[in-house]
Amino acid sequence: MPRPGFVLDVDRSTPPTLFWRGEGFSLERLPADRSRIIYPPEPLKGLDHLDHHIRNALLNPIDMEPLPALLKPGMRLTIAFDDVSLSLPKMRRPDNRQRIVEAVLDMAAEAGVDDVHIIAALGLHRRMHEYEMRHVLGDRVVDAFMPRGQLYNHDAEDHENLTVVGETDHGEVLEINKRAAESDLIVYANVNQVAMDGGWKSLVTGLASYRCLSHHHNPESLRNTKSLMDRHHSALHHSIWRMGKVLRDSGPAVFQVETTINTEAFPSPFEFLAKREWEWTAKDRALFLGTSKALNKMPNTTKRKLFHNIEAPYRTTSVQAGYTESVHEITLQNVHEQHLVEVEGQTDILTMGIPFISPYNPESIMNPILVMCMGLGYLFNMYRGKPLVRAGGVVIMTHPTYEDFHPVHHPSYIDFFDEVLADTTDPAEMSTKWEKKYAEDDWYRHLYRTSYAYHGVHPFYAWYWGAHGQQHAGRVIIVGGHAPAVRRLGFTPASTMSDALEIASDVVGRNPTISHLHVPGVLVADVK
Amino acid sequence: MKALRIDRNVGKFGAARIVSAVSPGGAAKLGPLEHRTINDPAPPSGGGWQQVHTRLAGICGSDLALLDGHASAYFENWVSFPFVPGHEVVGELESGERVILEPVLGHAARGLTLPFEGASPADGDDHTHLATTSVNGIEPGIQTGFCCSTGGGWAPWFWAHESQLHRINGTASEFPDERAVLVEPFAGGIHAALMAAPVANRADDPVVAVIGAGTMGLAAIAGLRRYVPNVRIVAGARYEHQRRLAAAFGADCVAEGSDLDRAVRREVGCHLIGDPDEPILSSGAHVTVDAVGSAASIADAIRITRPGGRIVLLGMPANVTIDLTGLWHREIEMRGAYTYGTEKLADGTTTSTFKLAIDTVTALEAEMLVSATYSLDDHVDAIAHAASAGRRGATKTCFEMRGS
């Protein structure tokens, strides 16, 4: 029986705590008697015979007819699937999406459906490489569909292949992929790693245009998203759900297949990462020391390659299919079962280690903007109820924050860092002053459509992701970060955790209370 | 008198070239420059010559190239050895008046008819007079500081012709020597800036890129801002203090040197093509002023200048190897910007570049650019400082001879 999440009050006997530092780690000692470490629940047990569970979900869906009953000869069937932003790290093959898509295709073939398109629902993310498609969908699907042009990446800038489905009662225009919108049925294949994902978000962001996304991917929405992991208190999700209603009422039928995975993210050489430090064995300590020393000697490119090559041995904890909203409620219950940790009250300081990866740099570089996004966007938002840190408190992250960008994946990020952040770090101001220029830049558009670049506006979205955290925190400190880059982000650099705590005392006094969000794995603090 | 002098010594020029490759400015120790007692230069024949007592004399990039043995052999016949360098000079006449030197040894100084009425020393389209011994005995030399007859600014005093002198109005507190010594380099920068005008004025939203923000780059930026005001200026500077000054002098956008291509792209909204580390812009700046003059900076200028645009070569390039395919393919015009002279402004009026430079350094209170001064005795340190000015947070290094 996996143990639930746990809040450890730090005392003098507590061993140093693991912090991610990009492509490395450090052990930090937190002040005794006023610090607490929030550990995630242990990985839930996975389902055996997953293919059977998937088939069962397709045949026994929630609030919809079984999939075979929806499949008719001559119909237009579109299968959309989550892109490489999920899962992190990537799932060991076969990926859940492959299992789902293969099961759906088998049923479609049995029903005589031959007009099938498969679309990577990547929104404004970079396009998937063929080898990534093969990893996610398997060779059989790729070989059968890609050569015939029936397996491809969504293109949010291909205006001839976008269509307006309708408008919400808030004036939000739902504009999505034309093929999907004009299909008789869309089947969505999802892997759900955190509560933010899934539901209507899968389709109305993954297959949307910039115009459509800009209704909710903006500073106003993100500042009122409290939190990203709690859709009932998220302006972003409220907007998306309104669009989902438009899709339900005016668009094609949607058959949503959602899977939840546990938190077994690292294979054996990195097992120590998921353990609680006081339970480390001699082998774990040796592995930590050996790994840390080896990483310290490697160039960043080698370290990145090492980490991005990791294939996670996740286990799938649930599969549900059918009507999107009904399916997603069950998905959320399963996600929460894996992630929720009850925590009593807020503290003055929140500490977090920033890992090598975020949803926007698979096989890429965690550039400074993504450090901000990961810290204030994702990890800060790992709460339900109230943030772990009080309003006006201090967030301390650990990351090298090197001024390093992937020139192919993140061209507009480079300019955003040089031009926009040099001017302002305020999401609202940059939205008004700079966003349009980047969103409509012909070169970025060209690279998004034909190369492997994130859309020109994407660094703005990454920045807006942290808007709530940015507004909430009195100061943000990065330990071990490249000082000029940290300052460009509007944060304060510190050499050591002790220095960071000293700097933080200007804001929160001499004896602040501290919460440390233990990463990995993944947890959502249910703050009472 | 005791002065800094350069003799024709092939061995020392060679040694300087080797030493400078490993130690910027190190050639001052082993190179052709010597601090030694020299014979006082004889007064040139003909009228109009004045003895000028040096107060401050700047160290210019072309001086450093010469000392490092990197100057082009092109100038072999345009200088006369041995000579006292120093062409950025503010000095004092016997009368006590302070003067700024316009160093070109032009027609008037050589007793020749001016190419046109009111011509400045550098005007004209025939350089015979600069490469031959003049009727009044002045030996070849493009400027004071490269001519054995007149002496130069890196000495307590030298000879200058009346046509080369600009008297300073105001006291030293009203118009400091540190400001006056910058007039000559600023005239060079403004001259280059004005070369952008014909191309920029044909464009709707002209963009001028400036590569480098040492003294010359900053002068070009200031000149563009004042005299070609409709342009957007994008400057690339290697060092933080240079970027700060570039913005203060009027650049609309300032980037690190290596990021200039991206900054220009953002400004004009074009594509970057090819190798992300050294991309070529599909369009680019209407005009690029290259204030560095190295092979790399010229190659950069070709990459970031739009087809049909103009490159103004302000930094002295010497002997460089460049792939000119881009220049050919993009039909870019490359123009040298050597010194200054008589300028025609947008409103059709003419004036001398030195007049514009005096106005500009006054408006900017440009004396802030003088970072360090040294005595002639400390010339090795002075040259080393000037050679690593950017890295050391400096801009202009000068020899100080006030009170000596």
For A223-267, write each residue's pLDDT tens digit.
Answer: 999 999 999 999 999 999 999 999 999 999 999 999 999 999 998
Q: Which residues of B touch A365 (CB under 8 A)?
A: none
> Cis link prior to A87 (omega < 30° from 0)?
yes
Res B21 pLDDT > 80: no
Helix (H) or strand (E) holding B305: strand B305-313
For strands A76-82 and A185-192, give the pairing. parallel
Cβ neighbour number for residue A508 with a 10 Å cutoff: 21
For strands B207-211 and B165-167, give the pairing. unpaired
- Alpha-carbon gap, residue B170 to A405, rounded angstroms: 54
- Alpha-carbon gap, residue A103 to A97, rounded angstroms: 10
Query: What pTM does this model have?
Result: 0.89
Q: Please tell me if the domain spanning B2-181+365-400 has the same topology as the one spanning B188-349.
A: no
Contact between A123 and A154 under an 8 Å Cβ cutoff? The reply is yes
Write the pLDDT tens digit of every residue in A61-78.
999 999 999 999 999 999
Res B24 pLDDT > 80: no
Residue spans per domain, chain B: 2-181+365-400, 188-349
> Cis link prior to A521 (omega < 30° from 0)?
yes
Q: Which residues of A touch B270 (CB under 8 A)?
A: 442-443
Res A344 pLDDT > 80: yes
In the structure encoding, which two tokens stand for residue B329, read together?
A: 């393919």
pLDDT at A321: 98
Residue type, B345: L
* Percentage with pLDDT > 90 across chain A: 97
In the structure encoding, which two tokens stand for residue B360, read together?
A: 């500009």
Write the pLDDT tens digit of every residue in A369-394.
999 999 999 999 999 999 999 999 99
Q: Which residues of B touch A418 (CB under 8 A)?
A: 255-256, 259, 262-263
pLDDT at B70: 80
> Cis link prior to B279 (omega < 30° from 0)?
no
Where does residue A115 rank: exposed (0-12), middle (13-18), buried (19+ CB within 10 A)? middle
The set of long-range contacts for A269-272, using a CB threshold of 8 Å and a minimum separation of 24, is A270/A310
Give the Å distances, CA to CA, from B42 to A104, B38, B158: 100, 12, 10
Contact between A439 and A464 under an 8 Å Cβ cutoff? The reply is no
pLDDT at B365: 97
CATH 3.40.50.720 fits B188-349, yes or no: yes
Write the pLDDT tens digit of every residue in A278-298.
999 999 999 999 999 999 999
CATH superfamily for B2-181+365-400 is Medium-chain alcohol dehydrogenases, catalytic domain (3.90.180.10)
Helices first, then strands: H and E counts in chain B: 13, 19
Q: Which residues of B touch A405 (CB under 8 A)?
A: none
In the structure encoding, which two tokens stand for residue A467, read together?
A: 């808007």
If DSSP codes are grouped into helix, strand and coil, which group holds residue A326? helix
Res B113 pLDDT > 80: yes
Confidence of residue B15 (pLDDT cuts 50, 70, 90): confident
Which residue bears the tokens 């969000």? Answer: A517
Contact between A360 and A458 under an 8 Å Cβ cutoff? The reply is yes
A441 touches chain B (CB under 8 A): yes
CB–CB of A441 and B269 under 8 A? yes
Write the pLDDT tens digit of every residue in A24-37.
999 999 999 999 99
CB–CB of B262 and A407 under 8 A? no
Q: Testing the interface with A: which of B234, B253, B271, B277 to mutate, by most A Cβ within 10 A?
A: B271
CB–CB of A415 and B277 under 8 A? no
Confidence of residue B182 (pLDDT cuts 50, 70, 90): very high
A195 contacts: CB under 8 Å, gap ≥ 6: A229, A230, A231, A332, A335, A336, A339, A524
- Alpha-carbon gap, residue B137 to B45, rounded angstroms: 7
Q: Please give the torsion angle defined by the CA atoms of residues B244, B250, B251 and B252, in that order, rounded to the nearest 10 degrees.
A: 110
Which residue bears the tokens 């342009």? Answer: B231
Confidence of residue A405 (pLDDT cuts 50, 70, 90): very high
ipTM over 0.85: no
Among the listed residues B98, B208, B180, B171, the one whose alpha carbon sits nearest the alpha carbon of residue B369: B180
Contact between B43 and B8 under an 8 Å Cβ cutoff? The reply is no
Backbone angles phi, psi at B12, to 5 degrees: -70, -35
In the structure encoding, which two tokens stand for residue A451, read together?
A: 């190369």
Q: Which domains does chain A have, with CATH numbers?
A: 64-261 (3.40.50.11440)
> Closest chain B residue to A410 measured between Cα atoms?
B276
pLDDT at A442: 96
